[in-house]
Amino acid sequence: MMSFVPCFGNSSVTTKLQVGSIPNKNVISIDTPNVARRPTLTQTRQRSLRGDPSRRFKNEKILQRGSTSVVSKCTDLVMRKQIALKKVKWPFLSQIKREFDIQKTVSEHPNIAGVANMLKDFDNREVYILMELLDGGDLVEVVTRKREGMNAQVFVSYARQLASGLLHMHSKGVVHRDIKPDNICSDTTNGSMKFVDFGDAAYVDETIKKYMIGTMQYIAPELIVAQQMHDSWGDQVLNVDLKACDVWSLGVTFYSMLSRKLPFKEASLKDTNYSIYQHDNRNLGTQKVWATFDPEMRTLLRNMLQIDPRKRWRIGQVVEYLIKWQNKINP
């Protein structure tokens, strides 16, 4: 399980041609005619590294290799710190730029992973994304370190952070579309949880081109139905509330945090547990697992995993509930 995953933000682009002149503040005035101060060796080296991205990063250690990209842990000689670096093949420039821009829209929130920059390496025909390095592992690792699910106190702390991050996303008109434990990472410097990997993210006002995006166990039931209808009817656009779908995915994630299990293999009648839940609405997942949840947990999960998206809690309601629950635990 990989501990570092891509996350995107600041959309400034640096190329070999974008090497600026010495700023005016480096020109000093003395009694003799003005003389431009020569840049130091460090300044010259910094500017050289900025102009040639391929020389900027040292001690690269590959963390994840995909068909179109490679993510590495490395040292950035310009920022002088360790980062996560994603290298993407040139033909996927427009795709990665879109992901980068969406991440930039929301990355100022403390529970959304940040980025530093995006660079183009024309010689090697690659695009570099400079990302925040999260060294605490993903939520899958955090959950599986123990034999049982999280206790209420730990869960509420993490859940409130994640709900707050999602509320911020939605307030900016962004939906994640692939919320799951694999796309949530922890930061050991402050113990925070952060959303990562905005490859499937979208703006809420965009026309939906594909409904079933994400991982099957976390996809909301209305998206599965919409995809089936779309496949049958052709190009007709169906009205789906993608914010409500994000809440469903986060609800399934919360279920896994509390139990180390998933309620359904998929939210359709193909799945026995889902079929039972749809008809009697008593147990989410197996009766054995559901019986281990206390009343506060059940209330939260029932409202986040309402089959009818119109009755499902909005993310703001989730945040309010978690705040009250946390205050009850820690008066």
Cβ proximity of 324 and 159 under 8 Å:
no
What's the pLDDT at 208? 82
Domain 139-329 in the same topology as domain 1-17+52-133: no
Return per-residue pLDDT of the chain as tens, 331 residues. 333 333 333 333 333 333 333 333 333 333 334 445 655 544 444 554 555 777 899 999 998 887 888 989 999 999 999 999 999 999 999 999 999 999 999 999 999 999 889 999 998 899 999 999 998 889 999 999 888 899 999 999 999 999 999 999 999 999 999 999 999 999 988 889 999 999 899 999 988 878 888 899 999 999 999 888 877 777 667 789 999 999 999 999 999 999 999 999 999 999 999 999 998 878 899 999 999 999 999 999 999 999 999 999 999 999 999 999 999 998 7
- Residues 4 and 70: beta-carbon distance below 8 Å: no
Rounded-to-integer distance, Cα 259 and Cα 150, Å = 7
CA 142/CA 134 separation, integer angstroms: 13
The answer to whether residues 173 and 321 touch, using CB atoms and an 8 Å cutoff, is no
What gap in Å lies between CA 127 and CA 273, rounded to an integer? 44
CATH node for 139-329: 1.10.510.10
> Mapping DSSP to helix (H, G, I), strand (E, B) and coil, where does residue 54 land?
helix
The alpha helices in 281-314, defined as continuous H runs, are 287-290, 295-304
pLDDT score of 7: 37
Return d(Cα 305, Cα 327) in angstroms, integer: 23
User: Torsions phi, psi of 117, nearest 5?
Assistant: -170, 170
Mapped onto helix, strand or coil, the DSSP state of residue 288 is helix
pLDDT of residue 273: 93
CB environment 246-282: b (16+ within 10 A), e (fewer): bbbbbbbbbbbbbbbebbbebbbeebebbebbeeeee
Q: How far apart are CA 284 and CA 290, in angstroms?
A: 6
Q: How many CA atoms lie within 13 A of 141 on its CB side?
A: 14
Q: How many CB atoms lie within 10 A of CB 71?
A: 20
Give the DSSP per-residue string, 222-275. HHHHHHHHHHHH-S------HHHHHHHHHHHHHHHHHHSS-S-SSSSTTSHHHH
* Nearest one of 242, 238, 257 to 300, comparing CA atoms: 257
Residue-level pLDDT at 38: 58
Report the 10 Å Cβ neighbour count for 164. 20
- Listed by start position, the domains of the chain span 1-17+52-133, 139-329
What does the block give as tokens for 75? 């040292």
Return the structure tokens found at 229.
């209808």
- Burial of residue 208, with CB atoms counted within 10 A of its CB: 0-12 exposed, 13-18 middle, 19 or more buried: middle
Separation CA 263–CA 275 (nearest Å): 11
Q: Give one DSSP letter per residue of 97-147, joined into a string.
A: HHHHHHHHHHTTSTTB--EEEEEEETTTTEEEEEE----S-BHHHHHHTSS
Q: Decide if domain 1-17+52-133 falls under CATH 3.30.200.20.
A: yes
pLDDT at residue 228 in the model? 86
Q: What is the DSSP letter of 293?
A: S
